[in-house]
Each structure stands twice: as C-alpha cells, then as structure tokens.
Amino acid sequence: MKILHLSDTHGQHNRLPELPWADVIIHSGDFSFGGSKREIIDFLNWFCYLPYKYKIFIAGNHDDLLWDSEIEFLPENCYGLRYSCVTIEGVKFHGIPMFVQDCVSGLINTGIEKIRPDTDVLITHCPPFEILDFDNNIHYGSKELLTAVEKIKPRYHLFGHIHANNGIEVHGSTTFINSAIVNEIYGDIQPWHLIEI
C-alpha cells in the first residue's frame, strides 16, 4: 500500500503541483488558514474528489470550526478521524486532531492515552517531543504523545504543525514524518512524502 502524506496546506492546496499516485492520501491538519467555513468547504470539495482510492484527514489547530461541528455526507472512501481509527486493507490508521479547546481542557491527552495499541499508522497534527518539532529555539512537541508512541511503536507516525521541520526521522521501529507543506512564512511549498507499508 502506498500512502501520500500532506499537512499544513493552510488554504493553499490549489497551489500544489500534480500529486503522485498512491492508494491512500492523508492530510494531518491545518488545511485552513483562518478556520472559516468557506475555507473548510473549499478544502473538502478539493480533497474528497481527489482520485485516490482512500482519503483520510484530521483537524489541526487552525481548523477549530470543526470542534463543535460534524462533517456530514463524506464520500464512503473518505474518513475524517477524531480520536478514532479506521482499518483499510488490513492497515490500522488512528487519528488525533488538535483542537485548541481540547488542548486547554486536556481532552487531547485523554485521547492520546486511548490510541489503539495495534495502530500501524498514527496520524496527529502535533509532533512528539524532540522529533521534527524544533523552531525558534523551542521544542513544540508533546511529551505525552512521545510516551504513547514509544509504547505503541506504530510503523509510521505522520504529523505536521511545525513548518520549519518538514522531514523524516527513524527512531527504532517507527518512522516519523512531518509533511508541513507551506514553510514557516506561509510562502514556499515544501515536499510531501510518499511511503509504502
């Protein structure tokens, strides 16, 4: 199975060059910039009709409009994960969004504690602590998430959020991928990542 991973397009998805073929496309949040309904609808209209067999997305901190809204009428091959999982052709995907309200209330940490132990591909918006999370002399990653990943050991952990750290790192049996597409000044387009599982 080939997986194409994107994150942090911030309303600039129409600027992307032609995307490569894959079985699954995953967007790990911040598909909008200001979080408006118009931006979210524009992204979903684009994403849902991409020619991929399966599509998965989660919300990032810029997509807070979805915190108290359910997305209805997604195509049956498109999954918006919210502290939930989906199994596709034997591969288990688990998604953790990053709503500001959940960060303040602690719900995100409760969700992290409940990640399925048999997860193959973990999708979060925030990176784990000290892995592709560094910008402005600060590590922005989550220590709780790092602890969970070290315990679960998914094959892949896909995320974004820190635009300055687009890249891939391997730690033990887990490959960590930050696919933040727009750079830290929201200008240049950075690489997406294509993986196989």
Give the model confidence (pLDDT) of 128-180 as tens digits: 999 999 999 999 999 999 999 999 999 999 999 999 999 999 999 999 999 99
CB atoms within 10 A of CB 63: 24
For range 120-125, the mean pLDDT: 98
Distance CA 176, CA 116 (A): 18
What are the φ/ψ torsions at residue 194 (nearest 5 degrees)? Answer: -115, 125
**126 pLDDT higher than 90:** yes
For the entire predicted model, the pTM comes to: 0.96
Distance CA 172, CA 101 (A): 33
DSSP 157-172: EEE---GGG-EEEEET
Segment 9-15 shows an average pLDDT of 94
Taking 90 as the threshold, does the pLDDT of residue 67 lie above it? no
Locate 188 and state its tokens.
């240049």
174 Cβ contact list (under 8 Å, min separation 6): 149, 153, 154, 155, 156, 157
Place of tokens 């974004």: 160
Tally of domains in the chain: 1
> Can you give the residue range of the structural domain that contains 167?
2-196
Q: Provide the token pair at 197.
A: 């599982």
CATH code of the domain in which 31 resides: 3.60.21.10
The per-residue pLDDT for range 74-90, each reduced to its tens digit, is 899 999 999 999 999 99
Residue 64 pLDDT class (50, 70, 90 cuts): confident
Residue 66 exposure: Cα atoms within 13 Å on the Cβ side: 28
Whether the per-residue pLDDT at 96 is higher than 80: the answer is: yes
